[in-house]
């Protein structure tokens, strides 16, 4: 657990960019690196000082770039390696940092490594992927592709059938074809992973968000093999790139932080209860006030203690794999949701467009493996010009159709409206950056998070600085027993809060931060 955190993570607020949907500068209907560069000032002005860039390597885009065909080349539709290098430099010039999305668990079937591994005669890539010895045997517990080459065997896949699993070994091999982590094939895969990281860190990227980070070693008992693998990577990074930041898509902070990651995401699947907040039949942040925050908080506290309060547990507003926040949370409750997201420990992540309340676009045909996720990946809405300022291409050439509503939110209109969601998010980030207690490493103590009850209240602290946060998304007044009398209010949204007779009474749909 003794991973040294890069200093810049202490006050990092991330903005997630889905590159194909952000800003198109060459009129082909797909976003590009130059488009991202042109909008860095917008991101900086909002208050975000770090960027997570979804996969931007060469790919046939069967899964939106999570099917890599060349880890060392930027996808031509976004630009060149030189353009990406310039994006890093332009971000650094603004005192911002950029994480690339690294997909270490699988490649595309079009990757040259896979084409070589399919050959019947042995070569250096024969053991780069997880293959059985016989076409008649499939790897247990994993999907596979087979009958596609002269090589006898079935190849395990990680998700879609065009994503063959790279071979990092089995924790406890029990079949002749299962290699151990110490065999030559798995060791070569791991060294190649380090080479890829070395290449992009040398180019100026500041670290990686790692896709499916907990899944590399197969048949892994309690993640022990995968933790050991990432500890090996951590030693390499500490030696060569000590300021590189690592955030995992793992969802088990005690394991990922042990493996040497600085941050882990609370995921929308698995045991986190993250969906209880924003995406279920009765979300906690709905104004109906029928949600339950208690199980989320219980799991959060468990993870917080398991990780020895050292790592950063990141709670995103959403991402490319989830419904848009605005699909289930509406109006002022979006502001209240951000009052929560931007006052929790760990680095917050804002999915592009969530800061203006972009909606989920209903009933879209799947684009590039998006399926039900496609509606959350529609092009950013910048202004009232053609295609909401995203692209000069004809509408039918856009990568994904846009929200066609006459009242669709745009960045331009929201910047101009002082009461907009955008301006509330900007204000909340500025307040977070003014108080150490509210930043990534400030401690948290929950003082009210009861089953089927409102509000949610917690104290953030750093040294002598203590801040009480009270959040009430429900459209009714609520109160709870608490003897805290604040010194001053530093943020308020909605109605007032009163502190008297050992009780805090909270107005409907309101949020407040108080110095105590």
pLDDT single digits (tens) 164-209: 999 999 999 999 999 999 999 999 999 999 999 999 999 999 999 9
The DSSP 8-state label assigned to residue 131 in this structure reads: B
- CATH assignment at residue 296: 3.20.20.80
β-bridge partners, 411: none
Distance CA 472, CA 287 (A): 9
User: What is the model's pLDDT at position 424?
Assistant: 98
Average pLDDT of the segment spanning 405-412 = 98
What are 248's strand-pairing partners?
210, 264
Q: 353's torsion region: left (phi>0), alpha (psi -120 to 50) or beta?
A: left
pLDDT tens digits, 125-170: 999 999 999 999 999 889 999 999 999 999 999 999 999 999 999 9
Structure tokens at 112: 């040259």
Residues 146 and 197 in one domain: no
Average pLDDT over residues 242-267: 92
Q: Which of 412, 432, 452 is the last residue of a domain?
A: 432
Q: Is the pLDDT of residue 308 over 80?
A: no
Mean per-residue pLDDT, 483-494? 97
Task: Tell me 371's DSSP state.
Answer: G
Cβ–Cβ < 8 Å for 419, 466: no
438 in a structural domain = no
pTM above 0.75, yes or no: yes
**Average pLDDT of the chain, as a whole number:** 96
Query: Is residue 251 assigned to a domain?
Result: yes
194 and 110 belong to one structural domain? no
pLDDT of residue 300: 93
Same-domain status, 141 and 220: no
User: How many whole angstroms from its chain centre is CA 91?
Assistant: 19
Quick check: is 482 in a domain? yes
Point out the domain boundary residue: 167, 196, 217. Answer: 167
Residue 312 has a pLDDT of: 83
**Do 304 and 370 share a domain, yes or no?**
yes
Instruction: With respect to residue 172, please indicate whether it lies within any of the assigned structural domains.
Output: no
- Would you say residue 40 lies in a domain? yes
In tens, the pLDDT along 436-479 reads 999 999 999 999 999 999 999 999 999 999 999 999 999 999 99
What's the average model confidence in pLDDT over 325-335?
98
The DSSP bridge pattern shows strands 14-17 and 50-53 to be: parallel
Structure-block tokens of residue 56:
């931007």
Quote the CA–CA distance of 432 and 12 in Å, as a whole number. Answer: 10
309 lies in the same domain as 384? yes
pLDDT tens digits along 268-281: 887 889 999 999 99
If asked whether residues 422 and 280 sit together in one domain, one would say: yes
CB count within 10 Å of CB 159 equals 17
**106 - beta bridge partners?**
165
Residue 457 belongs to domain with CATH number:
2.60.40.1180
What's the average model confidence in pLDDT over 389-401? 98
Judged against a pLDDT cut of 90, whether residue 306 lies above it is answered with no
Look up the CATH number of the domain holding residue 129. 3.90.400.10
Q: What percent of the chain is modeled with pLDDT above 70?
A: 99
Distance in angstroms (rounded) separating the CA atoms of residues 506 and 503: 10
- Total length of the chain: 516
Cα separation, 399 vs 377, whole angstroms: 10
Q: Does 319 have pLDDT greater than 60?
A: yes
Give the range of the structural domain holding residue 415, as residue numbers without chain letter: 7-104+185-432
Beta partners for 471?
Answer: 456, 511
Q: Given a cut of 90, is residue 288 above it in pLDDT?
A: yes
Are 94 and 112 in the same domain?
no
How confident is residue 3, by pLDDT bands cut at 50, 70 and 90? low
Residues 113 and 95 in one domain: no
**What interhelical angle do 224-240 and 184-203 show, nearest 10?**
40
- What 3-state class would DSSP assign to 173? coil
Q: Is residue 422 part of a domain?
A: yes
Buried b (16+ CB within 10 A) or exposed e, 475-499: eeebebeeeeebeeebbbbbeebeb
Output the six-digit token pair for 128. Answer: 């780069």
| 278 and 370 together in one domain | yes
Same domain for 35 and 162?
no
CB 379 within 8 A of CB 388: yes
Q: How far apart are the C-alpha atoms of 62 and 369, rounded to whole Å?
A: 6
Query: Can you list the positions of beta strands (E) in 295-396?
Result: 312-314, 349-351
Residue 453 sits in the same domain as residue 310: no
The β-bridge relationship of strands 465-472 and 456-462 is: antiparallel
In a domain, 231, yes or no: yes
pLDDT average, residue stretch 412-428? 98
**Residue 461 · residue 434 · CB < 8 Å:** no
Which pLDDT score is estimated for 1? 42
Is a pLDDT exceeding 90 seen at residue 29? yes
Distance CA 74, CA 386 (A): 28
DSSP assignment of 251-312 equals: S-HHHHHHTT-SEEEPPSSSSS-THHHHSSSS-TTSTT-----HHHHHHHHHHHHHTTTTSE
What are the distances in angstroms from CA 442 to CA 28, 460, 462, 470?
Answer: 45, 6, 5, 16
Decide which of 139, 167, 195 is a domain's last residue: 167
Number of domains in the chain: 3
**Residue bearing the bigger pLDDT, 141 or 432:** 432
- The helix/strand/coil state of 54 is coil
Residue 57 lies inside a defined structural domain of this protein: yes
My answer on whether 120 and 216 are in the same domain is no
CB atoms within 10 A of CB 470: 26
> Could you give the CA distance from residue 336 to residue 494 in angstroms, rounded to a whole number?
9
> How open is the CA angle 238-242-244, to the nearest 5 degrees?
115
């Amino acid at each position: 657990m003794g991973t040294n955190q890069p200093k810049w993570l202490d006050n990092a607020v991330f903005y997630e960019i889905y590159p194909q949907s952000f800003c198109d500068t060459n009129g082909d209907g797909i976003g590009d690196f130059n488009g991202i560069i042109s909008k860095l000032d917008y991101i900086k002005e909002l208050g975000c000082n770090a960027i997570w860039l979804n996969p931007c390597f060469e790919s046939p885009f069967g899964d939106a770039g999570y099917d890599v065909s060349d880890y060392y080349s930027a996808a031509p539709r976004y630009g060149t390696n030189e353009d990406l290098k310039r994006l890093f430099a332009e971000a650094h010039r603004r005192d911002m940092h950029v994480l690339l999305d690294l997909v270490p668990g699988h490649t595309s079937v079009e990757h040259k490594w896979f084409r070589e591994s399919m050959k019947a005669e042995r070569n250096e890539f024969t053991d780069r992927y997880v293959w059985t010895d016989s076409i008649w045997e499939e790897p247990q517990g994993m999907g596979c592709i087979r009958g596609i080459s002269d090589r006898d065997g079935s190849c395990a896949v990680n998700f879609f059938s065009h994503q063959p699993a790279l071979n990092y070994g089995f924790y406890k091999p029990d079949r002749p074809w299962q290699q151990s982590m110490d065999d030559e094939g798995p060791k070569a895969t791991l060294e190649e992973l380090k080479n890829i990281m070395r290449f992009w860190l040398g180019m100026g990227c500041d670290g990686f968000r790692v896709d499916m980070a907990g899944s590399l070693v197969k048949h892994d008992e309690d993640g022990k093999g995968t933790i050991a693998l990432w500890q090996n990577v951590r030693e390499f990074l500490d030696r060569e790139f000590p300021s590189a930041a690592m955030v995992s898509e793992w969802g088990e902070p005690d394991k990922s932080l042990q493996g040497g990651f600085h941050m882990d995401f609370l995921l929308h699947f698995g045991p986190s209860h993250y969906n209880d907040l924003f995406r279920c039949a009765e979300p906690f942040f709905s104004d109906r006030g029928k949600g339950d925050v208690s199980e989320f908080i219980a799991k959060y506290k468990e993870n917080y203690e398991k990780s020895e309060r050292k790592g950063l547990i990141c709670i995103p507003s959403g991402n490319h794999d989830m419904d848009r926040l605005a699909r289930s949370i509406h109006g002022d409750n979006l502001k209240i949701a951000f009052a929560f997201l931007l006052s929790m420990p760990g680095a917050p992540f804002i999915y592009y467009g969530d800061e203006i309340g972009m909606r989920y676009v209903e009933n879209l045909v799947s684009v590039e493996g998006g399926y039900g996720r496609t509606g959350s990946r529609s092009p950013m809405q910048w202004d009232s010009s053609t295609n909401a300022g995203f692209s000069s291409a004809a509408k039918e050439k856009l990568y994904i159709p846009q929200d066609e509503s006459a009242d669709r939110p745009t960045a331009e209109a929201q910047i101009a409206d002082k009461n907009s969601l955008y301006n509330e998010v900007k204000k909340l980030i500025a307040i977070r950056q003014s108080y150490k207690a509210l930043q990534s490493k400030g401690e948290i103590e929950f003082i009210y998070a009861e089953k089927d009850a409102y509000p949610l209240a917690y104290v953030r602290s750093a040294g002598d600085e203590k801040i009480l946060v009270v959040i009430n998304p429900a459209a009714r007044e609520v109160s709870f027993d608490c003897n805290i009398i604040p010194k001053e209010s530093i943020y308020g949204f909605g109605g007032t809060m009163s502190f008297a007779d050992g009780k805090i009474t909270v107005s409907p749909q309101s949020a407040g931060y108080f110095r105590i």
